[in-house]
Structure 1
């Protein structure tokens, strides 16, 4: 097989959301793909600071973060784009006005409000990040917090439409269900960064294979030539899915890559 470029989501694709581990078979599959000359990239919505160490230790060529705004190749930054600081400050003010709570994600840290959120899931995220040493240095209300991504939480108290009408000048909004929304820098996505990587290596779109499971992988599936959805996946991916792999815990990555002839 000619050289291909493989792009992998993290949560629910490489990292099991059941066992919270990466199957050894997936690690071996990545190693073998690189031995065969393929390029292997993580393509995640997480910003660089929140990519866990176990992911950074994987045998990959690079990591693409923040839904298309940042790219590392062999530990060297080859692309980055950021939300304008003035726009970021205005977004924080509007979120407060509209009673929208959020996790604000930057390249070097994540930021929370100083007050306890009425959303339990946001507080759970705060505890998770704190355990990883993130989100403890500065509160978003203090200003000067450089962020490029928002994970927003809404309910009946939120003026959701007003907030999102304002936000669309700066960010694109991905509905993640349960009144939560992933908001990313406008004009960038998991698909645009694939396009950038292919051009960087002078390879055609037909050489791209994408592996994912959730709705925020949609842009990746829409751009990639070969879409591989995990056994448990959001049905929004189905129109762009070429092959449905077994679940992560059932050696889904290994099985899919063998099926596609990417490894022996």
Structure 2
């Protein structure tokens, strides 16, 4: 029976810095486990359009994107969650009332709000987007404005009581630290994405593995019996069944080797 391995991207497949370095040992390990008949999936908070060619060229069998709101296997769309236009517009108006800085993430692009305060976090992200060739011209006023999930940065004048009260009704709020929050429709997560693809492909849970490095990976790590934290991700150590070496010390290779997946 084949196994299936779910990988986070930033800090797991590629270093979480401006280099976005992918070790050769990671490339070799992913190639080898696939040659042995195992499946490899990206499981990311990123929406589908933001999976870079450098990641795709590694040869993954599928992608769980947007924290479980989008699933693709063998270049075929298997599942997609849709947020209605009226709800997207309601959220955009609410974010203005909360005085936070949102980025709205859709399967095929980002939307920005010029009426929101500029933050250092948003400025840095937009610089990275531009350098990566990502379109940063789309706005909430555009006719095609719609999103799958969204993130926000807070500031000293943000109304977080209003934000938590209203957004918490319909979205899971993930505190990423330093005033940065990821917001996903209730009922969707990296864990639900795993459950859906295991069901679709008929792979038993005991043959599922997940590798991550930060707290937004916790749901997927708790969803499988074979959970792996990257070396240096101490916050995850209490929750996983194996701790591998850091990413640049052959972390992915050593993890797959430990579980006899290569």
In the TM superposition, structure 1's runs of 4+ consecutive aligned residues that sit over 3 Å from their partners are 115-118, 141-144
Match of 1:249 in 2: 248
Which stretches in structure 2 are left out of the alignment for 5+ residues?
A: none
- How far residue 142 of structure 1 moved from its aligned partner, in angstroms, is 3.9
Matches within 5 A, 1:83-94: 83-94=83-94
- State the distance in 1 between where 2:68 and 2:234 align: 20
Residue deviations 1:134-181 (CA, integer Å, cap 9, x gap) = 343321244541111111111220001201211123211001011111
Q: Secondary structure at the match of 2:41?
A: strand
Matches within 5 A, 1:149-168: 149-168=149-168
Matches within 5 A, 1:232-243: 232-233=232-233, 235=235, 237-243=236-242
- How far residue 234 of structure 1 moved from its aligned partner, in angstroms, is 5.1
Match of 1:59 in 2: 59
Match of 2:13 in 1: 14
Residue deviations 1:81-140 (CA, integer Å, cap 9, x gap) = 122221111110010011011111110110112257431111111121123333433212
On the 8 A contact 2:96/2:116 being kept in 1, the answer is no
Q: Secondary structure at the match of 2:255?
A: helix
- How far residue 58 of structure 1 moved from its aligned partner, in angstroms, is 1.3
Match of 1:259 in 2: 258
- How far residue 35 of structure 1 moved from its aligned partner, in angstroms, is 1.0
Of the structure 1 ranges 149-158 and 113-122, higher mean CA displacement relative to structure 2 is found in: 113-122
Which stretches in structure 1 are left out of the alignment for 5+ residues?
A: none
TM-score norm. by structure 2 comes to 0.95
Across the aligned residues of Structure 1 and Structure 2, the Cα RMSD in angstroms comes to: 1.5
Match of 1:217 in 2: 217
- How far residue 20 of structure 1 moved from its aligned partner, in angstroms, is 1.6
